[in-house]
Amino acid sequence: MGSIKLEEYLPEQLPPRWSKLLGQQSLDMLARVGRNLDSMPASAALMTPTGANILRAFATPPEGVRAVIFGQDPYPGLGHASGLAFSVEKTVSPLPASLRNIRTEYSSDVALPLPSHGDLQAWAHAGVLLLNRHLSTLISSPGAHRSLGWADFTNHVVSALAESSQYFVAILWGREAQELKPLLGDTPTIESAHPSPLSAHRGFFGSRPFSRTNRYREEAGFVPIDWSLGVEQ
């Protein structure tokens, strides 16, 4: 980020429609996280994702959110974090293990073809908010930024969405995501084990989160989500 102060930069990156929903409190939270990051200049070069992608999930406008998939914190691998939970850029290979397991369940659940890459941006365009609870970390240091205030901000996002009139389904993979359930009110939830290799065989595989999300939506009178990721010709 060079000489840019994240204390000022992060609040400016939150799209106006999210700022309106979340209020000044959210901007103050982002400024506080940015101030904490600014106080660690020695590690700035190791921050992931890049500053421009930290709030990338919020390109999905609040009124367009049809489902939320919650992650923990960004992938710590070099070049892996994209700003969208569980997603990587098209050039990343091999794919992170959790993403490979998500793709396996996706293929089994909705029987759609898989692209060769692990970019889930198509889901974001279809209204799926791919939101990590902590929006930055350091390369090779998972969880490095969990004490900087990110959870306060993302908890506020969850509460504001739940209290809005927007109908969405919350997909809670693993303990950290399931900690958000008290903030979700009457929001329909789908819970299972996390897709990581340590837990995927303990309830993630076979949980059918994608088809179940669409069933919730259709039963409530809303259009289903197009989960297609597209396949290169």
pLDDT band at 44 (very low <50, low <70, confident <90, very high): confident
Q: How many folded domains does the chain comprise?
A: 1
pLDDT band at 1 (very low <50, low <70, confident <90, very high): low
CA-CA distance, 136 to 138, in Å (whole number)? 7
Which is nearest to 128 in space by CA: 69, 55, 71? 69
Condensed to tens digits (0 to 9), the pLDDT of residues 85-119 reads: 999 999 999 999 999 999 999 999 999 999 999 99
Condensed to tens digits (0 to 9), the pLDDT of residues 164-219 reads: 989 999 999 999 999 999 999 999 999 999 999 999 999 999 999 999 999 999 99
Residue 160 lies in a domain: yes
Please report, rounded to a whole number, the percentage of residues in the chain having pLDDT higher than 70: 97
Rounded to two decimals, the pTM is 0.96
pLDDT number for residue 136: 97
Are 76 and 192 spatial neighbours (Cβ–Cβ below 8 Å)?
no
Show the domain range for 90. Answer: 6-219
Longest dimension (CA), the chain: 52
pLDDT number for residue 185: 96
3-state class (DSSP) for residue 141: strand
CA-CA distance, 14 to 27, in Å (whole number)? 8
CA-CA distance, 46 to 62, in Å (whole number)? 30
Residue 194 lies in a domain: yes
Beta strands in 115-168 (DSSP E): 128-132, 137-138
73 is catalytic: yes
Condensed to tens digits (0 to 9), the pLDDT of residues 138-147 reads: 999 999 999 9
Instruction: Say how many C-beta atoms besides its own lie within 10 A of residue 143's C-beta.
Output: 12
DSSP string, 31-92: HHHHHHHHT-GGGGGGEES-GGGTTGGGGS-GGG--EEEEESS---STTT--SSTT---TT-
pLDDT number for residue 225: 98
Instruction: Say how many C-beta atoms besides its own lie within 10 A of residue 3's C-beta.
Output: 4
Residue 206 lies in a domain: yes
Strands 189-192 and 137-138: unpaired
Residue 150 lies in a domain: yes
Any idea what the CATH number is for the domain that residue 177 is in?
Answer: 3.40.470.10
pLDDT number for residue 231: 62
Catalytic residue among 28, 38, 73, 226: 73
